[in-house]
Structures are given as structure tokens and as C-alpha cells.
Structure 1
Amino acid sequence: MTVLTAAEQLLGRTADVVLLDVRWALGRSDGRDQYLAGHLPGAVFVDLPTELAEGASPAAGRHPLPSVQRLQAAARRWGISAGSRVVVYDATGGLAAARAWWLLRWGGLAEVTILDGGLAAWTAAGGELHRGDVVRDPGDVRLTGGGMPVLTADEAAALPMAGGVLLDARAGERYRGDVEPVDPRAGHVPGAVSAPTTENLDPDGTFATAAVLTDRFAALGVRPGTTVGVYCGSGVTAAHQVAALAEVGIEAALWPGSWSQWSNDPDRPVATGP
């Protein structure tokens, strides 16, 4: 699976791809304003909370997966057609854009990659930015769903006991239960391994090399043939972890409900500490 596109590969070729700008961060609502102030030529803004998720609920989590029908309607609105090549990006090392990458792969689109290093890599490579909104002609893509593996809460909970590895992609302090700024309870799923998503990245916001990622995941108990599941707070940054694993040839299943679903169920056990 090809996961990444380097900025240098995209220079002079933005007209050949559908570019999706997915600028979003927890606790912020100015992604569209950032987009309007400067984006890659021809890029369409994607609103993560409304276009890459269904409405939040305690039972399903903060960012449940959209239906295939809703995702297809959005993809067509973004200008994606059968045979389109799509590149997604953000300004945070792919932490938000990976959600679009994962969803489109899950929907059945094969030619979708993450711009490695995002907006910063693009400008560092000499790429220009355009201001204002972009509306593309509607596309005709057909999505089917089922293109990427998914876990339920019960399946995620059972994974460590069955010999698999369940990675918690949140910051270490949230995993340990030191703090919990968003969800009802602090801690992690019993048996899960702390694997902060930010450690997939080099200081410049690009993905670490395949060799570094391979060593990182091996140290966490993940090797070729291991059954792997990933969760985070609400299924967003966990998609980045799935992308990093795919980059080194390891398939991982995403648990969309993640901690926001688990912590809302008082019957679910919670572990704390390192």
C-alpha cells in the first residue's frame, strides 16, 4: 500500500490530482479560516467534524464513521471521480488528514495518499499557496465500504488476551490517566500499549523513515503477522497510526469509537498507570 506522497513529487502536478485540505485540531474551529488564508493550488477544504464523521453520541463516540452513502456524497462534492488520484494534507503532520486517507481507503478508493509533511513541506519545497475558496466540478466516484479493517469495542478489548496488540495512540499522559481533558474517565483499555501518534513523526512533521518506524513498532510488540488494533480519543489520530503501520507493511484495524466510546460506558473497566 502506497501511503505517502512527497512534496517534491507534487510540484507542478497539482492539476493532476484531487487535493483535500483537512485542517482540524481538537479544541479549534478555525480550520476553514486557515485554509482560506493559504492552501495548495486547487485544494478543496474538508470539514472533519461534519464531513468525515457522523454526529457524536456517548454510545458511538465523538467522531463515529459516516455511512458509505454520506462519504460518497462528500467525495463527489470534493470532485472525486472513478480513477481520481487523491492527496490529502493538513498543517499538523497528517494527524487530521490521515482520517480522510483512512476513510477513502475504507470506502474503496485505491489511489489516495498523504502529503508527507503537509503544508510546511510544500512551502519548503518551493510550492506556492493560493487564497480563497475552491469548488470543483462534482465527481462520480462510487464507494462501497469495507476497504479497511475495523474493530468494535468488544473486539478491541479482546485483542490483547488473544495474542494481538492493541495500540493506544493518545499522548502518554492520557494513556496513564494523569489527565483527561475531553472524555468522561481517565486511563486506558486494559492490556493496551501506549504508542503516541506523534512519535511516528520527525521534528519537521514528516513521517519517520521505514526503518525507524519498523523498530518503533517492534519495540511495542508489533511484527509482521501480529494482529494489530489501534484506538485514540475518537478515531482520528488512530488513523495516522494505521497509516504509519501500513507504510512498513503491517495491516492494522481501526477502532472508530475509541476511548470516547469506551469511557462513556460505566461497565467498561479502566486501567491507569504506565
Structure 2
Amino acid sequence: MNAIISAPGLANALTGVNPPVLLDVRWQLTVAKAAGEPPFDGRAAYEAGHLPGAVFVELDRELASAPGERGRHPLPDLAVFGAAMRRAGVSSGRPVVVYDGGQGWAAARAWWLLRWAGHPDVRVLDGGLPAWEGPLEKSVPTPVEGDFVPEPGAAGLLDADAAAALARSGVLLDARAGERYRGEVEPIDPVAGHIPGAVSAPTTENVGPDGRFLSAEELRARFKGLGVTGDSRVGVYCGSGVSAAHEVLALAVAGIPAELYVGSWSEWSSDPGRPVAVGPDPE
């Protein structure tokens, strides 16, 4: 099954006998803002207009636990995550389509979590809300309670030690911007640089100017150039396990399985005993 769905494909699926549950996961990375500039409010954006029948899911509270030693977006409490999915109408026998404001990172995080937790049929709307040409609505639906119960383990998950080992034995991709990988800037986390052995692979290069994914063939060529071969074991990390989920999604589009280091750089850099590499080279 393709991990993404086009807007026309979604419109068609919504008229089928088993239409997908729609999850709206609009979110933006919190960074220092100009004086007086309010933080992004995903719920307010949802209430201003969303796909018909879509339910809002809050990334920071329902798709992650509170920030701490395990990173800025550690895995959510399974009870909280399961309850949020059931509230949204998610059931194991019904497909799910997730979308966000167009960047794709938050939608990919929800996609990865549902896959990791055992849901068999989850896709991301390619291009997000901007790609949708149909009507929007402002009313907040009350879906029938779903029956989904998380059973983790269906998708690959890395911890810090496993990520470090994979950087030596396979291919560990760093999905952050190149300047953060090289250690030239670090606007969020306490230390600049990257995990030794990791390869710079900004997730922004997996999409075209319209925010939609490159073709599977183009993505395979890109990842081959980064050292990903047919027999490579592949892992991905970023700042806090959100944009890295988008790169895992891009790899899935290319037909390449990959594991996610959820704690990512925010967890790695919180321990002064872990090594840090800087500059353009992996080591």
C-alpha cells in the first residue's frame, strides 16, 4: 500500500463504502518568535476551516509525552494516544488519512505512530491542506468512538544506543537542515552538531516546490546517493522525532523500510557523555 494519497484520490476514497477517518494534525515547530508574535495555534487553524469530518489531533499532547530527558517529543503515553485515536473515530478496520498545513512533518508523525502502534491502513495527504481543492467546514464533528487499541512494534524504533550502532553498521540519516547537522547553528537544542557517523539528509529535499513528494524513482535515486542500498539497514533522526518521521515516510514512498530514532538530537545532546561530531563529514 502506498503511504501517501493524492487529493483527488482522497476525494474518491471519501465516497467509497469504507471512507477513511480524517485526522487534522496542524502544528509548527516552536522557535524564538519576534516580540508580540503569537505562537501558532493548530486548533484555531482547524476551527477556521478543515476537511469535512476531520478531527483535530494535538501533536504536543496526544502524539508525544512531555519534553524531558527523552527529548522534546518523546513517545506518547499509550493510554493517552489510544484514547485520542478512539475519540477521533479510529478503528482497526477503517482506513485513516492524516494531513497538516502542508509541511507534512506533523502528519508524518501521526502516520508513523499509528503504524508503529499496529494500525494496518494509514496514509498521509500528499501536499497537505493546500493540495485539497474541495470544500472546507468549520463545524466540529463528534465521530462515533473508535475501537483502536495500540499494540506497539509494527514499525522500527531506535533508542540512542541503537542509533549510534546503526551509524556504524548501516546508514543513519540526519533529517535536519544542513547547517544544524554541521553544527554551524543550533536554535533549539543545547549542543550543535550531529551523531558521529550520521549522514546529512535534509527532509526538505524530499519534496518539490509544491510541497508534494518527489516520485518514488527520484526518491530512490536521492537515497542511493546518500549511501542507501538495497541491503542497507536505515535509520533516521532529526531534532525531536517529527521531521525524521517525514523522512521515514519519504523512504516508504521509495519502497525502503527505515527505523525512527524518536528521541533524536534533543535526547542525544542532553547527555554530555555522548559524542558529538561537527562539520560536513559524518565523523
**Could you say which TM-score interval applies, normalised by the shorter chain?**
over 0.9
Contact kept in structure 2, 1:14 and 1:42, CA below 8 Å: no
Bigger mean CA offset, 88-97 vs 225-234: 88-97
Contact kept in structure 2, 1:14 and 1:41, CA below 8 Å: no
Residues 217-256 of structure 1 show CA distances to partners (whole Å, capped at 9, x for unaligned) of: 0000012220111000000111111111111111111001
The separation in 2 between residues aligned to 1:160 and 1:143, in whole angstroms, is: 29
Pairing partner for 1:82 from 92, 101, 110: 92
What is the aligned partner in structure 2 of residue 25 from structure 1?
A: 28
What is the aligned partner in structure 1 of residue 34 from structure 2?
A: none
What is the aligned partner in structure 2 of residue 217 from structure 1?
A: 223
What is the aligned partner in structure 1 of residue 10 from structure 2?
A: 10
- Give RMSD over aligned pairs: 1.2
- Letter of the structure 2 residue corresponding to residue 171 of structure 1: A
Q: Which runs of 5+ in 1 are unaligned?
A: none
The separation in 1 between residues aligned to 2:113 and 2:199, in whole angstroms, is: 24
Alignment of 1:204 onto 2:214: no
The separation in 2 between residues aligned to 1:273 and 1:45, in whole angstroms, is: 40
What is the aligned partner in structure 1 of residue 187 from structure 2?
A: 181
The separation in 2 between residues aligned to 1:223 and 1:69, in whole angstroms, is: 38
TM-score normalised over the length of structure 2: 0.92
Bigger mean CA offset, 131-140 vs 245-254: 131-140
Identity of aligned residues (%): 59
Q: SS at the partner of 1:11?
A: helix
What is the aligned partner in structure 2 of residue 167 from structure 1?
A: 173
The separation in 2 between residues aligned to 1:195 and 1:114, in whole angstroms, is: 21
The number of aligned residues is 269
Q: SS at the partner of 1:96?
A: helix
Q: SS at the partner of 1:198?
A: helix
Alignment of 1:136 onto 2:143: yes
Summarize the alignment of residues 82-101 of structure 1 with structure 2, pairs less than 5 Å apart.
82-101=92-111
The separation in 1 between residues aligned to 2:67 and 2:167, in whole angstroms, is: 27
The separation in 1 between residues aligned to 2:53 and 2:13, in whole angstroms, is: 11
TM-score normalised over the length of structure 1: 0.95
The separation in 1 between residues aligned to 2:232 and 2:125, in whole angstroms, is: 28
Q: SS at the partner of 1:166?
A: strand
The separation in 2 between residues aligned to 1:12 and 1:207, in whole angstroms, is: 20
The separation in 2 between residues aligned to 1:73 and 1:79, in whole angstroms, is: 10
Contact kept in structure 2, 1:231 and 1:254, CA below 8 Å: yes
What is the aligned partner in structure 2 of residue 242 from structure 1?
A: 248
Q: SS at the partner of 1:147?
A: coil
Q: Which runs of 5+ in 2 are unaligned?
A: 31-38
Bigger mean CA offset, 227-236 vs 6-15: 6-15
Shift of 1:269: 1.1
Shift of 1:105: 0.3
What is the aligned partner in structure 1 of residue 45 from structure 2?
A: 34
- Letter of the structure 2 residue corresponding to residue 17 of structure 1: P
Shift of 1:10: 1.6
The separation in 2 between residues aligned to 1:46 and 1:225, in whole angstroms, is: 36
